Amino acid sequence: MKDLFKKDYEIVGENVRAIRKALGLTQDELANRCSVNSAKISKIENARTDYMFSTLLEICEGLKCNLPDVTGKKLVEQPIEEEVTLLTIEGPKVLLLN
């Protein structure tokens, strides 16, 4: 992974971990929900590997969240219900315009 993108990989990893823990899932349980093995999930959470876009989409599916949930600002961990997505984002909200 390029050093230029290291911080982005760290944010994604921290967000994946925060959402997984908020759902009360282990890395193995998340791996069982998607086609990504637990070793890869660990490497993603710790920003130790590159990964394909499709891998990130598989993880989002396993976490029942959207891509912006894991690629946005760092999330603050808090327990959430399986059916309800309650995520707190640090910093100002960003409005994306097309």
- CA gap 46, 10 in Å, rounded: 7
pLDDT tens for each residue of 34-53: 989 999 999 999 999 999 99
- 97 in a domain, yes or no? no
Maximum CA pair distance of the chain? 38
- CA gap 8, 11 in Å, rounded: 5
For 10, the domain range is 3-89
User: CATH no. for residue 66?
Assistant: 1.10.260.40
Which pair of tokens denotes residue 77? Answer: 């961990």
Helix 38-45 / helix 6-22 crossing angle, nearest 10 deg: 120
> Rounded to two decimals, what is the model's pTM?
0.73
- 95 in a domain, yes or no? no
pLDDT tens for each residue of 11-31: 999 999 999 999 999 999 999
- CA gap 47, 6 in Å, rounded: 7
